[in-house]
Chains A and B, each alone.
Chain A
Amino acid sequence: MSAQAYVRKVRSGESGLWKSAKPALTRLDIELTERCNNDCLHCAVNLPAGDIEARGSEWTAERWKTLLTEAAGLGCLVVRLTGGEPLLRADFEEIYLHARRLGLRVMLFTNATLITPRLARLLKDVPPLEAVEVSVYGLTKETCEAVTRVSGSFAACRRGLGLLGENGVAFTVKGAVLPPTSREADALEAWAAGLPGHAGRPAFAMLFDLRSRRDEAAKKNKAIAGLRQGGDEFVSFARRHGDGAVDEWRDFCARSAGGRGDRLFNCLPMGSSAAVDPYGRLQYCLGLRHPGTVYDLAAGSMREAVTKFLPRLRETRAADPAYLERCGRCFLKGLCEQCPAKSWAEHGTLDTPVEYFCGIAHAQAVAAGLLDWGEKAWTVRDGSERAKRRK
């Protein structure tokens, strides 16, 4: 018996919550639909809102509710509802409320254009417990709709943000550094800071993913790759408010010892999470759709997927000689976005080095004073020691 505070407040995602074993599943990402009412230049997901084939194949609300119940039973605390545009689904509220009534916190990713007074009120009365993340691609009608390529999307987004603000629903806006918006980043930050209900600072997407479904729509990949920032531009953007980001990169490298070896799955904090696509296929993360890494929930169970299938998958080893020679020995593993999902999207394999991300990480390391220009990180034998010395 203790005479101290009786009730302990905790962030549900924090490790301090668990005194013994963590649950088999702590976070679930659900891609409710591939469809979107915007057609953003850089997006690797969106199919047209009216795509009949995609819509007809999506799981029903009943199936999602059953899955959410199973996930909660496995200890899941947080579910991310994303898309495409998840609010395109007429049954979104039903799925959302079911998740909340199970005691799940909900991360909602949306473009806000379909937020109605009714939905804003629901989010007020039954809050998601996580800030709603809203993609805002442009501060003016011209810049925004040059990205979304849908007339009226700017006004609809502003209307949605207004409804969230009026109802006191916490949200965060996210931008993207694209040709139409590249000069707006500072202005977007200042604008967001003044919005009622806005939490935190906007994040900006720059290293755009290619389409992870290797299908007909992947022909868009060339256009997406053409929108990406180079290493110098990336560093310059990160430094626009000072050298804080560069200091973080250096600290990060000082903390990570050695290379990846032949391990493919290195994102350990994601170790007890999973993702499910609109058709009930469970994945390690939303980007990894290699057929050998996907589990069909219609033919199995969530429990088997997270307790047997994913742990086996995490033990997959790299075999590509270039990966072993480079990524396997590279001390920039904490900075670099190289992972099986990126390799799959770029090359159709799990273990091929992705030159683009390698170049970005090297530019970061040069800016942080960890590498000389032209030096390759995998040739440095004492990388983390070097990072510690140069802190």
Chain B
Amino acid sequence: MTEKIDLSRTYAPSDDVVVREIEGEIVIVPLTSGIGDVEDECFTFDEWGRAVWSKIDGSRPLETVVQELLDEYDAPAGLLKGEVVGLLQELYERRMIVDKG
């Protein structure tokens, strides 16, 4: 899966994972086979990843999400955009999010 993340597109959590929030942590548990390198692991985020993930709900294009994060975080636009795209690229490659168009 080598497609690049496109800021004009909308992304949402995949049906291949179960997303849980437990004691303030977001935990992503694979549901179907082939998520991640091996099948005996689950995934979680750092604070930054959690902030981004909470906005990836399929309701708006990624560029809108980036703008919202720029309003919330004191960070250079280029750096923040790069971080968001990097995170989503990893999530997409792990089949944790899908492209909703």
Chain A residues packing against B (C-beta within 8 Å): 1-12, 17-23, 72, 75, 77, 100-105, 124-127, 129-131, 168, 170
> In the complex, are the beta carbons of B23 and A20 less than 8 A apart?
yes
User: Closest approach, in angstroms, between the C-beta of B78 and any C-beta of chain A?
Assistant: 12
Which single residue of chain A is at the shortest CB-CB distance from B33? A127
Known: A1-B75, A101-B31. A6 touches B25 (CB 8 A): no
Contact present for A18 and B80 (CB under 8 Å)? no
Question: How many residues of chain B have a CB within 8 Å of chain A?
Answer: 37
From A5, A10, A126, B32 is in contact (CB under 8 Å) with A126
Contacts of B44 in A (CB 8 A): 7-8, 10, 17
Return the contact of A7 from the options B18, B40, B79, B91 (Cβ within 8 A): B91
Interface presence of B6 (CB below 8 A): no
List which B24-53 residues lie within 8 A (CB) of chain A. Answer: 24-25, 27-33, 36-37, 39-46, 48-49
What residues of chain B lie closer than 8 Å to A7, measured between beta carbons? 28, 43-45, 49, 87, 90-91, 94, 96
Contact indicator B83/A103 (Cβ below 8 Å): no
B1 located at the interface, meaning its Cβ lies under 8 Å from any Cβ of chain A in the complex = no
Q: With CB as the reference atom, state the residue of chain B lying closest to A167.
A: B33
Contact A129 B48 (CB under 8 A): no
Q: List 23 A-B contacts (CB under 8 A).
A: A2-B83, A6-B83, A6-B87, A7-B44, A7-B91, A7-B94, A9-B37, A19-B24, A20-B24, A23-B23, A72-B20, A75-B22, A77-B27, A77-B29, A101-B31, A103-B18, A103-B20, A105-B42, A126-B31, A129-B39, A129-B40, A131-B40, A170-B40
A9-B36 in contact given A17-B44, A102-B18, A103-B20 (Cβ < 8 Å): yes
Residues on the A chain within 8 Å of B56, using CB: none
Q: Which residues of B contact A17 (CB under 8 A)?
A: 25, 27, 44
CB atoms of A1 and B20 under 8 A apart: no
Contact assessment for A105 and B31 in the assembled complex, using a CB-CB cutoff below 8 Å: no
Judge whether A1 and B33 touch: CB under 8 Å. Answer: no
Q: Measured between C-beta atoms, what is the minimum distance from B61 to chain A in Å?
A: 20
Is A8 a contact partner of B46 (Cβ separation < 8 A)? yes
- Among B24, B83, B96, the residue within 8 A (CB) of A3 is B83
Contact B25 A1 (CB under 8 A): no
The count of A-to-B residue pairs whose CB atoms sit within 8 angstroms is: 107
Hey, which chain A residues are within 8 Å of B41, CB to CB? 9-12
- Report A122 CB to chain B, min CB distance, Å: 11
Contact yes or no, A10 B42, CB < 8 A: yes
B21 to chain A, nearest CB (A): 10
Q: Which residues of A contact B37 (CB under 8 A)?
A: 9
With A6-B48, A20-B23 given, can you name 7 additional A-B contacts, CB distance below 8 Å? Answer: A7-B45, A9-B42, A10-B44, A18-B23, A103-B29, A127-B39, A168-B33
Encoded as 1 (CB less than 8 Å from any A CB) or 0, chain B from 1 to 28 comes to 0000000000000000011101111011
Chain B 54-76, CB-CB to A under 8 Å as 1, else 0, gives 00000000000000000001010
**Partner pick for A100 among B25, B27, B31, B42, CB 8 A cutoff:** B31
Taking CB atoms, residues of chain B closer than 8 Å to A75 are 22-23
Would you call A125 and B20 a contact (CB within 8 A)?
A: no
The residues of B that contact A125 with a CB separation of less than 8 Å are 32-33
Q: Verify A12–B27 contact, CB threshold 8 A.
A: yes
State how many angstroms separate the Cβ of A151 from the closest Cβ of chain B.
35
Cross-chain contact of B43 among A1, A10, A21 (Cβ < 8 A): A10
B92 to chain A, nearest CB (A): 11
A100 to B29 alpha-carbon distance, docked (Å): 9
Q: Which residue of the partner chain B has the closest CB to A105?
A: B29
**Complex CA distance for A19 and B23, rounded to whole angstroms:** 9
Inter-chain contacts of B45 with A (CB < 8 A):
6-8
Instruction: Given A1-B73, A19-B25, answer yes or no on A6-B90 (Cβ-Cβ < 8 Å).
Output: yes
Q: Which 5 A-B pairs have the closest CB atoms?
A: A103-B18, A103-B29, A6-B87, A75-B22, A12-B42
